[in-house]
Structure 1
Amino acid sequence: MVLKTTTATLTSSPLPLLSSFLKPPFFSFPKLPLLKPFNSPRTLQSSSAPQMSWLNKLGFGARSSTDSAVDSSSSTSSIAQGPDEDVPAPGQQFAQFGAGCFWGVELAFQRVPGVTKTEVGYSHGYLHNPSYEDVCSGTTNHNEVVRVQYDPKECSFDTLLDVFWARHDPTTPNRQGNDVGTQYRSGIYFYTPEQEKAALESKDRQQKLLNRKIVTEILPAKKFYRAEEYHQQYLAKGGRFGFRQSSEKGCNDPIRCYG
């Protein structure tokens, strides 16, 4: 940036010359280009804090903690904290789980016989209709969850609980491996009193097996916000590199959760 100057004869007082430079605007910011989506959506989570910091300063991306506090005290909070009013298909039931990055968790449930549908999304936060960037900011309290639809005649809730415990470490608060944040917390979110009872009993059994404190929260299912389409069945569709992983029923191939 080059400031244009004019030749001036100094007088006994420099104020006229200085005033010509001090008149606003001193300079102007260039127009910023529109931000494009990241090629690897999970990359954002591994370093969400610093990226969100400078994006927020420029007016892009997730809301600030102040904005979230405003949302939390508004009507949007009560909407987000309301029950999941979606209805499963006839003869089916819903279950909802949080066990770290929802990509790998969803694939694990896709492979279970009797599971008829899976969706990844956000729940148990204070912001209505959150985006992925909102959740990654760590200010909305949402959890990355998988909502499972299953046929209770072919798949018991206990079977789903077994998959849930096997898929993650329930003793690490707000963390699964390198993924750190409240959106990675361990949680079972029940739809019926029977699911709640089964979840509590299963947690007790698991506690004895691990001999470590389990931090899994067991709470009523709240409003489910379906995640962006590119997150749905992410690993089965091939992920970032196009390496598709099988979602066939009964498949026990290792699940590789990559960005």
Structure 2
Amino acid sequence: MYKLLPKPKSQIHEDFSSESHEIASIDHLPCPEFLREAIFAAGRFWELEAAFGCLEGVVRTAVGYFGGDLIKPSYKEVSEGKTGHTEAVKVTYDKRRISYRSLCKAFWASHDPTNKDFLRFGIETHYRSAIFYGDEDERKAARETKVKQQMKLNKRIVTKIVPCSRPTNNDLVFYIAESRHHKYYLQMDHIGLCESLNLRSAEQFADSHLACKLNGLFGGDGKDKLQDLKDFMERYDLLMPDKTKLILEVILQASAAEKTLELEE
């Protein structure tokens, strides 16, 4: 199970510019003092995880179940809609590179927050649109971005902004989903990459920074995925196993050939 990381009162370093500083540990994460976590729900967690994985400053993503009472629920139990849980994504991010407010903005852009089907959460569906805030600053950022998003739309936003804890001060627990649900787009089309990175268990998928970024690349809505892939390979060259590099080279060549054919048509 996963709980939100504590929020130490550390100073933000203003001189953070080198990529070598970003990769501060063997799992490709900055120092823990700079990490924060946030939880969002927006229907199916596959698409939402990829949307967050695209963002600069997001270092890990995990899909799971949140908000209910059943301990260690399964996908089947949650999908039956009787546990109180919803599909959710836990985002681990570097506070120096992206703000909670920016995560909220990406959340609004990732789905249709006016979808009335979300109003049937707990009755006919386990899907919901929700921002789970951890403190007053996060609540304020979520509400302010919601107001701005509402001003752009002609329909009422049905997204709920709710605390990560109950009135009894008991924190809700984020239960990690089964391994097959993590990094969906990476697993669906590029299982060889998963094997090259030794990703098998749910925890391994959730903890992998490279998997987070690759899933965002393959599942996101980037306009130039070919260039995005080139940039990824250059940026993470020193961190990837040789087998991973070879597979990405093949994918890159195939993507380039496909793009050439499209231009010729």
**TM-score relative to the length of structure 2:** 0.57
2:64 counterpart of 1:121: yes
2:71 counterpart of 1:153: no
Aligned AA (1:129): K
The whole-number CA distance in structure 2 between the counterparts of 1:203 and 1:129 is: 31
Q: Which residue, 112, 136, 139 being the options, matches 1:196?
A: 139
What's the secondary structure of 1:113's corresponding residue? coil
Aligned AA (1:114): G
* Contact 1:190–1:218, Cα closer than 8 Å, also in 2: yes
Larger Rg: 1 or 2? 1
The answer for the alignment partner of 1:235 in structure 2 is 185
* Contact 1:107–1:236, Cα closer than 8 Å, also in 2: no
Q: Structure 1 residues 217 and 242 mapped into 2: Cα distance closer, same or farther (>3 Å)?
A: farther
The answer for the alignment partner of 2:5 in structure 1 is 87
2:82 counterpart of 1:132: no
Displacement after TM superposition at 1:241 (Å): 9.2
Aligned AA (1:231): H
The answer for the alignment partner of 2:175 in structure 1 is 225
The whole-number CA distance in structure 1 between the counterparts of 2:33 and 2:124 is: 36
Aligned AA (1:87): L
**TM-score relative to the length of structure 1:** 0.58
* Contact 1:174–1:186, Cα closer than 8 Å, also in 2: no
Q: Structure 1 residues 209 and 202 mapped into 2: Cα distance closer, same or farther (>3 Å)?
A: same
Q: Structure 1 residues 144 and 181 mapped into 2: Cα distance closer, same or farther (>3 Å)?
A: farther
The whole-number CA distance in structure 1 between the counterparts of 2:125 and 2:137 is: 27
Displacement after TM superposition at 1:182 (Å): 3.2
1:45-60 alignment, distance < 5 Å: none
Aligned AA (1:238): M
Aligned AA (1:228): E
1:1-259 alignment, distance < 5 Å: 85-87=3-5, 89-175=32-118, 181-221=124-164, 222-238=172-188, 247-248=216-217, 252-253=221-222
Aligned AA (1:118): T
Unaligned runs of 5+ in 1: 1-79, 255-259
Q: Structure 1 residues 219 and 166 mapped into 2: Cα distance closer, same or farther (>3 Å)?
A: same
Q: Structure 1 residues 85 and 246 mapped into 2: Cα distance closer, same or farther (>3 Å)?
A: closer
Write out per-residue CA displacement over residues 149-168 of structure 1, whole angstroms, 9 at most, x where no aligned residue.
10111001121111111111
Aligned AA (1:115): V
Write out per-residue CA displacement over residues 72-130 of structure 1, whole angstroms, 9 at most, x where no aligned residue.
xxxxxxxx9xxx74426332111110011100110110110000110000011121111
Aligned AA (1:247): G
Paired residues in the alignment total 168
Larger proportion of helix = 2
The whole-number CA distance in structure 2 between the counterparts of 1:242 and 1:169 is: 33
Displacement after TM superposition at 1:210 (Å): 0.7
Aligned AA (1:172): N
Q: Structure 1 residues 240 and 139 mapped into 2: Cα distance closer, same or farther (>3 Å)?
A: farther
The whole-number CA distance in structure 1 between the counterparts of 2:174 and 2:187 is: 23
Unaligned runs of 5+ in 2: 7-31, 165-171, 195-213, 224-265
The whole-number CA distance in structure 2 between the counterparts of 1:164 and 1:85 is: 21
The whole-number CA distance in structure 2 between the counterparts of 1:239 and 1:144 is: 22
- RMSD, aligned CA: 3.0
